[in-house]
Structure 1
C-alpha cells in the first residue's frame, strides 16, 4: 500500500518525485482537514497543514491531536513564512516547510514526515500485536486452567478441539489418540472426535490408522513434527503421506489447508494428534461452495502453529491426566467390586444386595436432581457426588467382614450344630425307650415264660408308642419355636415345660432336655437373634465406618464414610449405632436408608424371612415415614419416579 500525502487544493508542490519513482506516493488534494477516523491507520500518511486546512477545523485541538496519533503533520507556511505562526499546533508538528522553500528542502521535510508516519504505523502495529499476544496468552492460560479441571475424557477432547479451532478460525478438526503395544511403543492412532462448522451433523465412527508415514496424522505421530499444508490436494507426488479424499467425495466437502500437530507430554511422548482443517478469514463463515473455499480458506501461518503447539502441549498433559484418572477409577472400581464380593462370599444370602442399594440410591438422587419435591426441589447432584453415593451404597455393609460368620448367616434361632445336638438327644431317647422295651420284654420271659406274654408285649408296645409320640411332640415344638417368627405366649409356656424335661445320658447322668443356652435362643420373641447377636450384627455399621475412614479418599469421595455410617439411623433418633436424629443424617444417607429397607423387604434370597411384594413393601415404607423414621419427601420421589423398577429390570 502506497504512502499517502494529504495537501490543500490550490497549492503547488515540488515537481520532484517524493519517492524513488513518481508514483511511489499517492497525493490526495482536499478542501478541509480530514478526520482521523477517515484515514487508514495502517497506511503511512503525511498531512501538509497550511493556513487553509487549519482554518477548516476552527481551532479544534482535539481533532488535531487525533490526527497526530495516526499521521505525521508537517506544517506548510505561506510565502515568506520561515517558521510556523503562533496559531499552528507546533507541539503536534513533525516538521515545517517554509513558504517558497527549495524543492530539495520540501522533499527532505516530507520524507522525514513519511519516516515518522511509518514509525506511527509500526508503533500501532506493535501495540496491536502486543495486545493480541496478551489476549492469546490469556486465552491459553484460561484454556489450560479449564483443561486441568476436566476429567471426563470425551468432554476434555471436545474442549481441546473447540478451543484449537476457535484460536485459529478453523472450519473443522479432529483428534486421534495413541494406542500402545505392550512394550509401550505407539502402535495405532484411534480417531476419537471430529468437529465441522460447515457440516455440523456428520455421523461419527471410530477407526484406527497406523503410526507410520502413510497418513498425515500417522506421519505427525511417527516423526513428532507438525505438518503445515496450504492445500492437501496439491501434495507433491513423491510425498509419503496422502490425503484420503473419501470424506470429501462422500459429503461434498473440500479439504484445503491443514495443520497437523502431534500432542506431546512433558516426557516428550506422543499422546495423540490434533488435526485442524481449513483456516478461514472469518470464523463464522460456512464453506458451502468451491468459490467460498477458494476465497475464504487461507493457510495456517507461523503464529497459528505456535499457538496450537502450545495448546497441544497443555492438552497432552490434560489427556494423560484424564487417562490416568480413568485408570485409577477402574482400579478403584475393581477394589470396590472385590470388596463387595468379599462381603457377599461371607453372606451369600444377601448376594446382590449392595449393588441393588447402590443402584436405587443413585436412581433416587437422579430423580431428585431432575425435580425433587418440597425442600429438595432445588437440590442438584454432580457426577462426582453421584459416584460418591454409588460407592457408599456398594460399601455400606462392608463392616460385616468384622461379624462372626455363624452370626452373619444364621437362619434360625438355633445354630445348625445346636439343632443337630438336640436331634441327637431325641434319637438317643428314642433308642433308650426301645432298649427299655427290649429289657422289659426279656425280663417278662425270664420271670414268667410264655405266660401272658402277648398281653405284656402289647402293653410294652403301647408304652413305647406313647413315648415316641411324646418325644415327637417335644421335637416338633422345638422345631416350630426355632423358626425366626414372632413367639406367641402359648409357645413360650410350652418351651418352659420343655425346659423342665429331663433325660438320662449315656453315662447314666440325668440332664435337662434343653440346656440354658438352647432355651434362651428358642425363647427369642422376634426374629432369630438374641440381644448379644443383634448387637454384633449392628456393629457392622461401625466396622464399615472405621474401615472406610482408613481409605485416603479423593476430595470428591471423602463423604463416603459419613454417608455409609448412618444407613441404619432413623430421623427420630431411634436407629443405630449412634441414635442420631434428622439434623445429623445427610440427605444421601436418607436416600440409601430407603433403598436399603426396600431391598431388605423385597429380597427373595433371605432364608430367615419371606419376601414381600412391591405394594406391601411401599406400604411398610410409608408407615415408617408417618412414624417419623424415614424422609417423607424423599420417599415420595422414590415412589413417584418408580426408582425401585431399576432393580426389577436388572433382575
Structure 2
C-alpha cells in the first residue's frame, strides 16, 4: 500500500463507498464485498460510519479490486450515476432531492461536495435555467486518478437524472488528466417533465377557448354545447394530471426533506450526547482525586448516558504484570466475577487477548462481529469473549505521556445497533482524559504517601526518645481513627485526625530527656515543663503549610490535654470550645497512657482503665466519644466486658 502523503491524508467520506457497495449488491450480487474491503484495508464498521474518511490509497485499492472482480472498466461512471438512484437510500440522494430542481441542486454542489470529499473544491456557475458550469480543482498535494474523474462525471449526471429521468448532456471541456489545472464540465439537461405538462395544459386551454368561440357560428347549439363540454373535460383532465404530478413531486421532495431533517436531528442528538458525556466525565474527574472514586463515577456516567450494554475499566497492577478490574457496569454477577478472576497477563509474550494487545501496543479495536478477529485471538481469549456473551465491542488503551495505564472497553450484547468510528473516537478522547486523571491521582497519592511517611517518621522520632513510649503515637492514632469511624465522620476528617494524632506529642521534642525519662514522680516545676509540650506542638505545627481541612491539625493536636471543665491546658478551653478532633484524641491518648508501662507506674488493667474512663466522663472527657471508643473496642474484641460498661455509660 502506498505510504505517500495521499495515503496518509483521509480525503474521502465513507458515504462514497456506501454508494459503491449498494451499486455492487444491486448489479453484481455475486461479487464478494468482503474481499474488496479486505484488499482496500477497510472495515465494515468504518464504511457504515458516516463520520469516517478513507485515504487515496484505500480508495484506489477498492476500485482496483472492484474492476478485477467485475471486469467492468467503465464501472466508475456507472457507480456515479447510481448515487441518486432510489435503491441507494443515500445521503446524496436525500440531500439533492430536497431541492425543487437540478438548478438548485447543482448550485449547492460547492457546499454539499464537502460532505463527501476533501480532495478538491467545486465552483458552480449558472448559465441559464437548464444549464450550469462546474469547475473541480484538486487541492495541493492530492493525486486523483482518472477513474475518479469518471465517477465524478457519473455523480453529476445522476443529479439531473434524479429530477428529469433523462441523462444530461455533459461537455467535459477541460480535464486534469489532459494536462489542465481543473476539470471543467458544462451540463445541460431537459426541462422538468412538469413544465411540458403545464405548457400543454395552458396551450390546450387557450386553444379550447378559441375553438369554442370559433365553432359557435358553424355548429348547432346542441352540437356546439357537446363540443365545448368535450374541450372543457379534456382541459380539466390535463389540469388534474398536471396538478397530480405536481403534488406527487412536492410530496416526494417533502419526504426527502423530512428524512434529511430526521438524520440531522439524530446526528445533533448524538453530538450533544457525546459532548454531555465528555463534560460529565470531566466534572467527575475534577471532583475526585481517589482513582477508584474517579473510575466508579465514570462507569456510572457511561451507563446513564451512553447506548452501550456493558463497560469495563481495567488498570495494570503495580508491577505491570497483569490487568485488574477497577470499575464497570452492565455485567451480570457471573460475568463480573469472571472478569475479576480472569488473569490478563501482561508479562507473557504469548498473550494475544484484545485487552492485552490494546494495552501493550496502545492500539484501539472496534469489532462488530467477533468472528472477524477469531483467527487473531488465542483459544483462551476467544473462549473468554464467548463466555461473556460478547458480540461487538470497542477497546481503547488508557494512555498518558506515552505510558499505558490500562484499557477502557464497551460492548453490546443485546443491542443490534452497530458500533461506529464516531463511538471509537469519543471513547479515545474520554480514555485520554481518564489517563491524565489517573496520572494526576497517582501523583497526588504518591505525594500523600510521602507526606504520610514524613509525618510517621516525625512521630516515631519523638516516641523513639524513650523505649517505654515507642509506638504510643501510632496506638493513639489507631484508637482515634476507630472512634472517628464509630462517630460516622467523613474520610477527609478521619485523615486529618490521623495526622493530628500522629503529631499530638511532637512538642515533646523541646522537653529535656532528664524530665521525659525520669524515674518516679515529677516535681511541680518538672510537670509544668512537661505541660509546655502542648503549646510547643502548636508552635511547631503552625509553621507547616497545611491546606484545606488539614489547617485544623495544629489546634487539634495541641488541644488533647484540654478538659471539658476548663481545667486543662494549654488554653483552658471548655466544652464545645474544644475541637471534636481534640476530644477524640484526648480519649485515645488517655486510654493508651494508663494502659501502658511508664517510668513512674505500672500499666492499668483493661477493666480498671474502662472504669476510670467512665469516671472522667462529662467533666474531663466527652461521654459521646467514650461510648464510641467502647463500641470500637467491642467490635474489634480488644477488651472483654465492654457491653456492661456501654450500658452503664449510656
Instruction: Return the alpha-carbon distance in structure 1 between the equivalents of residues 463 and 506 of structure 2.
Output: 9
Instruction: Return the alpha-carbon distance in structure 1 between the equivalents of residues 329 and 485 of structure 2.
Output: 33
Instruction: Return the alpha-carbon distance in structure 2 between the equivalents of residues 580 and 180 of structure 1.
Output: 47
Instruction: Return the alpha-carbon distance in structure 1 between the equivalents of residues 512 and 86 of structure 2.
Output: 106
Does 1:247 pair with 2:384?
A: yes
Q: Which residue of 2 aligns with 1:200?
A: 333
Q: 1:614 aligns with which of 606, 625, 630?
A: 606
SS at structure 2 position matched to 1:244: helix
Instruction: Return the alpha-carbon distance in structure 1 between the equivalents of residues 328 and 552 of structure 2.
Output: 38
Asked if 2 retains the 8 angstrom alpha-carbon contact of 1:279 and 1:300, the reply is no
Q: Which residue of 1 aligns with 2:165?
A: none
Asked if 2 retains the 8 angstrom alpha-carbon contact of 1:216 and 1:243, the reply is no
Deviations 1:594-640 (A, max 9, x none): 1111111111x2121122222222222222225x1221232233335
Q: Which residue of 2 aligns with 1:473?
A: none
Q: Which residue of 1 aligns with 2:133?
A: none
- After superposition, residues 53-452 of structure 1 pair within 5 angstroms as 100-101=238-239, 103=241, 106-178=244-316, 188-193=321-326, 195=328, 197-201=330-334, 202-203=336-337, 204-205=340-341, 207-210=343-346, 214-235=352-373, 237=375, 239=376, 244-247=381-384, 252-265=387-400, 267-278=401-412, 280-281=414-415, 297-369=416-488, 381-411=489-519
Asked if 2 retains the 8 angstrom alpha-carbon contact of 1:140 and 1:311, the reply is yes
Q: Which residue of 2 aligns with 1:514?
A: none
Distance 1:644 1:193, change over 3 A: closer
SS at structure 2 position matched to 1:123: helix
Instruction: Return the alpha-carbon distance in structure 1 between the equivalents of residues 580 and 616 of structure 2.
Output: 17
Asked if 2 retains the 8 angstrom alpha-carbon contact of 1:178 and 1:190, the reply is yes
Deviations 1:419-464 (A, max 9, x none): xxxxxxxxxxxxxxxxxxxxxxxxxxxxxxxxxxxxxxxxxxxxxx
Distance 1:176 1:394, change over 3 A: same
Deviations 1:488-517 (A, max 9, x none): xxxxxxxxxxxxxxxxxxxxxxxxxxxxxx
Q: Which residue of 2 aligns with 1:581?
A: 574
SS at structure 1 position matched to 2:313: strand
C-alpha deviation, 1:388, in angstroms: 1.1
C-alpha deviation, 1:179, in angstroms: 5.7
SS at structure 1 position matched to 2:614: helix
More helix by share: 2
C-alpha deviation, 1:339, in angstroms: 1.3
Distance 1:138 1:608, change over 3 A: same
Does 1:630 pair with 2:630?
A: no
Does 1:552 pair with 2:527?
A: no
C-alpha deviation, 1:165, in angstroms: 4.8
- After superposition, residues 474-513 of structure 1 pair within 5 angstroms as 484=520
Structure showing greater radius of gyration is 1
SS at structure 2 position matched to 1:271: strand
SS at structure 1 position matched to 2:633: coil
Distance 1:407 1:278, change over 3 A: same
Instruction: Return the alpha-carbon distance in structure 2 between the equivalents of residues 534 and 615 of structure 1.
Output: 28
C-alpha deviation, 1:144, in angstroms: 1.6
SS at structure 1 position matched to 2:396: strand
SS at structure 2 position matched to 1:570: coil
C-alpha deviation, 1:401, in angstroms: 1.2
Does 1:561 pair with 2:554?
A: yes
SS at structure 1 position matched to 2:487: helix
Q: TM-score, normalised by structure 2?
A: 0.57
Does 1:597 pair with 2:590?
A: yes
SS at structure 2 position matched to 1:348: coil
SS at structure 2 position matched to 1:560: helix
Deviations 1:107-161 (A, max 9, x none): 3453244223322332343234324422331232122211222233233333334
Deviations 1:546-565 (A, max 9, x none): 22222222324222222112
Instruction: Return the alpha-carbon distance in structure 2 between the equivalents of residues 589 and 21 of structure 1.
Output: 81
Instruction: Return the alpha-carbon distance in structure 2 between the equivalents of residues 327 and 246 of structure 1.
Output: 38
The farther-off stretch of 211-220 and 342-351 is 211-220
Asked if 2 retains the 8 angstrom alpha-carbon contact of 1:175 and 1:275, the reply is yes
C-alpha deviation, 1:566, in angstroms: 0.7
Instruction: Return the alpha-carbon distance in structure 2 between the equivalents of residues 312 and 280 of structure 1.
Output: 24
Asked if 2 retains the 8 angstrom alpha-carbon contact of 1:539 and 1:577, the reply is yes
Where relative contact order (Cα < 8 A, 6+ residues apart) is larger, the structure is 1
Instruction: Return the alpha-carbon distance in structure 2 between the equivalents of residues 258 and 221 of structure 1.
Output: 16
C-alpha deviation, 1:280, in angstroms: 4.2
Q: Which residue of 2 aligns with 1:501?
A: none
Distance 1:568 1:145, change over 3 A: same
C-alpha deviation, 1:365, in angstroms: 1.6
C-alpha deviation, 1:300, in angstroms: 1.5
Asked if 2 retains the 8 angstrom alpha-carbon contact of 1:258 and 1:299, the reply is no
Distance 1:303 1:242, change over 3 A: farther
The farther-off stretch of 153-162 and 636-645 is 636-645
Distance 1:24 1:216, change over 3 A: closer
Instruction: Return the alpha-carbon distance in structure 2 between the equivalents of residues 23 and 215 of structure 1.
Output: 41
SS at structure 2 position matched to 1:260: strand
Instruction: Return the alpha-carbon distance in structure 1 between the equivalents of residues 404 and 420 of structure 2.
Output: 23
Asked if 1 retains the 8 angstrom alpha-carbon contact of 2:359 and 2:406, the reply is yes
Asked if 1 retains the 8 angstrom alpha-carbon contact of 2:481 and 2:497, the reply is yes
- Cα RMSD, aligned residues only: 3.7
Asked if 2 retains the 8 angstrom alpha-carbon contact of 1:157 and 1:175, the reply is yes
